[in-house]
Amino acid sequence: MNLRPFIKTHIKTIMTNFDVQRGPFDSFLREYYKNNKTLGPSERSIISQTAFDLVRNDLLLSHFTKDVDRKCDLLPHISNYEKDQNIPLNIRCSCPEILFQLVSDQYGQKRAYEFFMALNTKAPLTIRINPIKTTREKLIKEMNQLYFKKTLTSPYGLIVSKENNVNLTDTDQFKEGLFEIQDEASQVCALRVQCQPNDKVLDYCAGSGGKTLAFAHQMEGKGVIEINDTRSEALSKAKIRLRRAGIMNYSFFTKKFKYDWILLDVPCSSLGTLRRNPDSKYRFSQERLNDLIKLQQEIFDQAIRFLKQDGVIVYTTCSFLKDENQNQVKHFCNKYNLSVVDNDYFQSLPEKGGMDSFFSISLKKN
Ligand SMILES: C[S@@+](CC[C@H](N)C(=O)[O-])C[C@H]1O[C@@H](n2cnc3c(N)ncnc32)[C@H](O)[C@@H]1O
């Protein structure tokens, strides 16, 4: 790859010092840029793109060489190596063997390979307009220096064209709360919380409020939204984002009510967002997965106590593993005598150019 020597030096330093077991890679890169303030935006962009590609394709590149410079040289030819029948399939899509085997057992080898190939591509940049303050049409007009394509499944999503080189969070429209950056699948899952004015809603794993923001407008400012998470710093961020979006009817979890809607966006293996966090595939282990499955069940046990008799609990993951999705749902339904609302669920599987891979299902007491 024709990279300037000083860019190559930075990439080499980053790749040599990054310890995948201590990830995530995006936080590591942010820290690196903080300590290397002389790097300008375009230099950072080249470094990030190349470094992310190196991480995504690390198993395949490491099949040929351990040297970072040489890996950079191989990157432009990666599609040739991906087709090489002499290389084991899991290496061709840079997926650790244990993970590849697990996904092959569930979906077959061919689909497992297609999934991980799709997850090795760059995710589209998608925003969700805030329907309290604007519409997709108005925002497209207002931000006419950018190119947008409307999402087909989420009614509020816009995919930002790749040619744009604008930092979206620096724009006036972002600062005024007209939009948030959010993948389409995440928007669709949040909208399974079909709350109405005067409902009581609990977002039990709210994090920094990504999904709270995406369902809250339906309440038209009336009723109660409570947010909960074990990370208080994430909840503080959620407060700032909710205020920016013009949502005022929220508070932290009071444990005072039984709720009409509970959203459980549980911690999971996050395999469905590997395009954004490619390093997490190298941290996958059966042990970690077992711990997550247990945690998901504990969170469900804690939260369901707060569901009204005729309320709905929406269970969501960004994973495509059946053990975190369908098998968990079977467990919850048996344990608590629940049924699936409308016999229906949402799932986006990894697909080139598509949404992140999410699973979401609405459950009701019988
Ligand atoms: C998938 S993330 C949620 C993302 C968030 N809903 C969003 O859309 O931005 C899962 C969240 O669960 C939180 N969490 C982990 N254990 C928890 C527990 N026992 N109770 C509540 N939240 C928990 C994590 O801190 C994390 O923020």
DSSP 64-130: H-S-HHHHHHHGGGHHHHHT-TTS-HHHHTT--HHHHHHHHHHH-HHHHHHHHHHHTSPPPEEEEE-
pLDDT at residue number 2: 72
64 CA → ligand 1 middle, Å = 39
- Nearest ligand 1 atom to the CA of 298 is 19
- My answer on whether 359 and 253 are in the same domain is yes
**Catalytic residue check, 95:** no
226/31 Cα distance (integer angstroms)? 33
Percentage of residues of the chain with pLDDT beyond 90? 95
Q: Is residue 279 part of a domain?
A: yes
C-beta neighbour count of 54 within 10 angstroms: 22
Binding region for S-adenosyl-L-methionine: 229, 265
pLDDT at residue number 298: 98
- Total domains present in the chain: 2
Q: Is residue 76 part of a domain?
A: yes
C-beta neighbour count of 260 within 10 angstroms: 21
Instruction: Name 361's bridge partners.
Output: 315, 345
Q: Is residue 253 part of a domain?
A: yes
The domain in which residue 333 lies consists of: 185-365
State if residue 230 touches ligand 1 by the CB under 6 angstroms criterion.
yes
* 227 φ/ψ angles, rounded to the nearest 5 degrees: -120, 140
- Asked whether the predicted pLDDT for residue 353 surpasses 90, the reply is no
Q: Is residue 163 part of a domain?
A: no
SS3 364: strand
Q: From 53, 87, 121, give the residue that closes a domain.
A: 87
- My answer on whether 189 and 83 are in the same domain is no
Q: Is residue 310 part of a domain?
A: yes
What does pLDDT average to over the chain?
Answer: 96
**Whether 7 contacts 43, CB under 8 Å:** yes
- Asked whether the predicted pLDDT for residue 295 surpasses 80, the reply is yes
Q: Is residue 331 part of a domain?
A: yes
Q: Which of 309, 298, 306 is nearest to 335 (CA)?
A: 298
Q: Is residue 122 part of a domain?
A: no
Q: Is residue 164 part of a domain?
A: no
Average pLDDT of span 129-141: 98
- My answer on whether 75 and 189 are in the same domain is no
Q: Which of 29, 183, 15 is nearest to 191 (CA)?
A: 183
- My answer on whether 206 and 74 are in the same domain is no
Average pLDDT of span 62-78: 95
Q: From 26, 58, 87, give the residue that closes a domain.
A: 87
CATH of the domain at 295: 3.40.50.150
Average pLDDT of span 250-275: 97
pLDDT at residue number 163: 62
* Distance, CA of 342 to chain centre: 26
227 CA → ligand 1 middle, Å = 10
229 CA → ligand 1 middle, Å = 6
- My answer on whether 202 and 321 are in the same domain is yes
Q: How confident is the model at residue 4 (pLDDT cuts 50, 70, 90)?
A: confident
